[in-house]
Structure 1
Amino acid sequence: MGRIVTIIGTRPEIIKMAPVVKALDRLPHEHVLVHSGQHYDMLMDRIFFEDMRLREPDHQFALQDQPPHLQVATTMRHVAGVAVGADLVLVHGDTNTTVAGALLANKLGRVLGHVEAGIRSFDKTMPEEVNRIVADQLSDLLFAPTPTARDNLRQENVRRGVSVVGNSVIDALRANLALAVRRSDILEKLDLRPRGYLVLTFHRAENVDDPKRLARALRAFEAAAKAAGLPIIFPIHPRTAKNLRRFGLEKRAGTIESLRRIEPTGYLDMLRLEKDAALILTDSGGLQEEGCYFRVPCVTLRENTERPETLSIHANVLAGTEPARVAAAVRRQMAVARTWRNPYGNGTTSRRIASIVDKTLG
C-alpha cells in the first residue's frame, strides 16, 4: 500500500479536485488531503466543501493575505512534515499552492503528479503561467486535459508520463448539476428568469489591482449590459470589492443600474446562475470551461486565455476591458449558435487519474 498526499488551496481547486479526491479515496492506498487555505475564508470554504460533499482535509492552515513568495514558503514549511512520508504528491492547476507542492515533492524526491498539466496562455507576466511551467517541468505524471495541452508539453520537451485524461471540471459538473437545479433557489431570490441576465466574475490581479484598469472595466460592464439589454449579476470577489473601496470607485460602481452586485455564492448557486445565464462575462479560467459545458456563450475580459479550445469552437471570445470592444463581443456572442461540443471530456477524468496513480504505486 502506498501513501498519496493531495494538496489543494483555493476554491477552484476544491471544485476540480473533489471528484479526484473521492476517486483516490477508493484506492487501496493511504490518502492524505491537505488544504493550504490560500483563498482562506472559513465560511466560504465550509460552503464549498459541503456543496461538493467533500470530506474534511486531514491537514489545514490559512495563508490569508501573505504575499506570493511567503505563500509558497509557508505552504512548503507546513506540508513538509506530511509529504516526507508520501510516495506520491498530487497538485492541481497553477496556484502558489501548486508550485509549493511541486517544489516540495521535488526536494523530497517523491513522485509528483500534476492535474491540468500543459495548459498555457503564453504570457509569462501572469504568475499562474510561471507556476504551470514550473509544476510541469518537475512532474513525473502529467494529467493533460486536452490534446492541445499535451502538444504544449511536447513543445517544451516534456513527453514522458503525459496522459490526456480530460478535465475534472466536467466530472464535478455532472455530479452536481442535478443537485444544483433541485436545491438552489438563487434565481427566485434574485427574481431572475432563465436567459434574462448576464453573469459576471472579475477578480484577477492584473484587472483589479490597477485603478485605471478597474475604472475602465466598470465602463465595460455598463457597455456590456446595454449591448445585451439585460442586467448583470455580479457575485463580487472580496479582492475586487476591497479595491473598489481602496480606489474610490465604490460610488461609481453603484451608479451602474444594470450591475447587481451580490455576495460571493456557493458552488451550487453559481452553477444555477451560469446554467441559466444568457451570457457569461469573466476573467476566470474555470467559468470559460463551465460555460462551454452549459453551452452558454462567454466573453473573456482578458487579452489571452489558457483555454484556447473554447475559442476554436466559438464558445468564447477574448475582449479585454475596453468598453466598445466588450460591447461588440457581447453582441457577437449573444447571437452565436449554441451548437458546439464540449472539448473537456466525458466526466471520467477522476477515474482515469486514480487508475494511473494506482498503477504507479503498484
Structure 2
Amino acid sequence: MIKIVTIIGARPQFIKAAAFSRVLREKYDPANPVKEILVHTGQHFDSNMSKVFFDELRIPEPDYNLGIHGGSHGDMTGKMIIEIEKVLFKETPDIVLVYGDTNSTLAGAISASKLNIPIVHVEAGLRSFNRVMPEEINRVMADHVSDLLFSPTKTASKNLQNEGIEHGRICEVGDIMYDAALYYKKLAKKPDSLKLEIEKFFLLTIHRAENTDNPAKLSAIIEACAKLPYHLICPIHPRTLQKLSALNITVPDNLMLIEPVSYLEMVWLEVSCEAVITDSGGVQKEAFFHHKPCLTLREETEWVELCDLGVNILTRAEDLYTSYIKMSSQSLEHLFEQTLYGYGNTAELILNEILKRYANG
C-alpha cells in the first residue's frame, strides 16, 4: 500500500485535490491500494471559500484541519511547517503530495524534505519570473526540493529543465484543473447571491495584492469597468471589498458586486459570461476551458501559451477598453480547440505514475 499525505489550504487546491481524490476512488485496485491522508492547513478559512468547497466537490472531510491563517507570510508558513511535521511524524507516509504555489505548498514541501519523505508536486514548472510575487518564491522552492514534478504544459517542463532539474524527475501530464472543469461543468449552478437576470455580462475577479493594495491601481480598475459595454459581475474577495470601502471608491452602475461564490457557482459564471477579466492565474485557464476570451489585469502571467495563442491579453487598467475592442474584433472560437492542457485525464496519469514509481517502495 502507498500512503500519501496531501497538503491543501487554498481554494484552487481543493479543486485539484477533488479531481485526484475522485480518480483514487474510481480506480481503486486492491493489488495496488493507495491511502490518502488529507491535511487542510486552514489557509482559506472563510466558509464560502473553504467549507462549501468540500461539500459541493464531494471531497472527504480532511483528516487534519490545522486552522492556520492570517499573519505575515513568514508567520503563517512557519506555523504550518511545525504542524505539518507533527502530522508526518504520526502518519509516516510514503510520499507527500502538494499542489500549486501557496504558503501551504511551500510548508508541505519543506516539512517533507527535512524528513526525507519523497515529495510530489502537481502543477510544477510555472513561472511568472517576478520574484516580488510570493507565489513565485513558493513554486520555485517547492519544485527544487520535489522528487517527482508533474508539469501541466511544455512551457512548464522547459522552465524546469532550464533550472537544471533532471529530466527523469519531470513528468508532463496536462492540467488537472481541466479534469475538474470537464467533470463539474455539468453540475454548475447559478449563484444564490445573483438575484437579477442579466442576459450578457463580463465576469470580473480581483484579488492580487499588486492590484488591491495599490489605491491608484484599484481605482483605475473600477473606473475602467465603467467604460465597458456590458454589466460586470464580480464575486468580491473579502480583502478587495475592504479596500474599496477604506478608499471610498464608488462602484459604477454596471458593476455588480456579489458575495464570494462556490466553485460550481464560479463555473456557471464562467460558462455564462461573454468574457473574463481577472488577475487570477487559475481563472485565466478556466476561461480557456470554457471557451471565453480573457483580459488579465497583470504585467505577466504563468500561462504564457494563452497569450501566444491570442485568447488572453495582458492589460493595464488604463488600457482595458482598448484591449476589449482588440479582442472583440477577432474570431477566436477555433483557437479554443487547441489541446494546450491535455485531454482531461491528468489525474489518472498522475496516479499511474505514482504507482509505477512508488508501489514497490
Specify the alignment match of 1:74 in structure 2: 79
1:232 and 2:229 equivalent? no
CA contact (8 A) 1:237 1:264 kept: yes
- The Cα of 1:187 is off from its aligned counterpart by 10
TM-score normalised per structure 2: 0.93
Specify the alignment match of 2:322 in structure 1: 328
Alignment of 1:311-326 (within 5 A): 311-321=307-317, 323=318, 325-326=319-320
Residue of 255, 262, 271 corresponding to 2:258: 262
Distance 1:40 1:175 in 2: 25
- The Cα of 1:188 is off from its aligned counterpart by 7.7
Counting matched residue pairs gives: 348
1:305 and 2:301 equivalent? yes
1:285-330: CA deviation from partner (whole Å, max 9, x where unpaired): 1111011111100000000000011111111000022x2x111111
Secondary structure of 1:345 counterpart: coil
Specify the alignment match of 1:355 in structure 2: 352
- The Cα of 1:240 is off from its aligned counterpart by 0.2
Specify the alignment match of 1:244 in structure 2: 244
Specify the alignment match of 1:11 in structure 2: 11
Residues 100 and 335 (structure 1 numbering): CA distance in 2 closer, same or farther, change over 3 Å? same
Residues 88 and 207 (structure 1 numbering): CA distance in 2 closer, same or farther, change over 3 Å? same
Residues 43 and 236 (structure 1 numbering): CA distance in 2 closer, same or farther, change over 3 Å? closer
- The Cα of 1:4 is off from its aligned counterpart by 0.7
- Percent of residue pairs identical: 38
Specify the alignment match of 1:191 in structure 2: 197
Specify the alignment match of 2:107 in structure 1: 100
Distance 2:283 2:48 in 1: 22
Secondary structure of 2:105 counterpart: helix
- The Cα of 1:335 is off from its aligned counterpart by 2.8
Secondary structure of 2:58 counterpart: coil
Distance 1:335 1:61 in 2: 49
Specify the alignment match of 1:286 in structure 2: 282
Structure 2 residues without counterparts, runs of 5 or longer: none
Residues 35 and 313 (structure 1 numbering): CA distance in 2 closer, same or farther, change over 3 Å? same
Residues 270 and 43 (structure 1 numbering): CA distance in 2 closer, same or farther, change over 3 Å? closer
1:45 and 2:29 equivalent? no
Distance 1:39 1:335 in 2: 39
Distance 1:77 1:288 in 2: 34
1:139-196: CA deviation from partner (whole Å, max 9, x where unpaired): 100000011100010110112310000101111011110111xx43669833022xx1
CA contact (8 A) 1:281 1:298 kept: yes
CA contact (8 A) 2:193 2:258 kept: no
1:217 and 2:221 equivalent? yes
Alignment of 1:20-59 (within 5 A): 20-25=20-25, 26=28, 28-59=33-64
- The Cα of 1:245 is off from its aligned counterpart by 1.8
1:123 and 2:130 equivalent? yes
Distance 1:246 1:185 in 2: 27
Over the aligned positions, Cα root-mean-square deviation in angstroms equals 1.6
Which residue type is aligned with residue 330 of structure 2? Answer: V
Distance 2:184 2:174 in 1: 18
CA contact (8 A) 1:292 1:342 kept: no
1:85-139: CA deviation from partner (whole Å, max 9, x where unpaired): 1110000111010111111111010000100000111111111111110011101
Distance 2:266 2:329 in 1: 23
CA contact (8 A) 2:205 2:234 kept: yes
Secondary structure of 2:50 counterpart: helix
Distance 2:75 2:123 in 1: 24
Structure 1 residues without counterparts, runs of 5 or longer: none
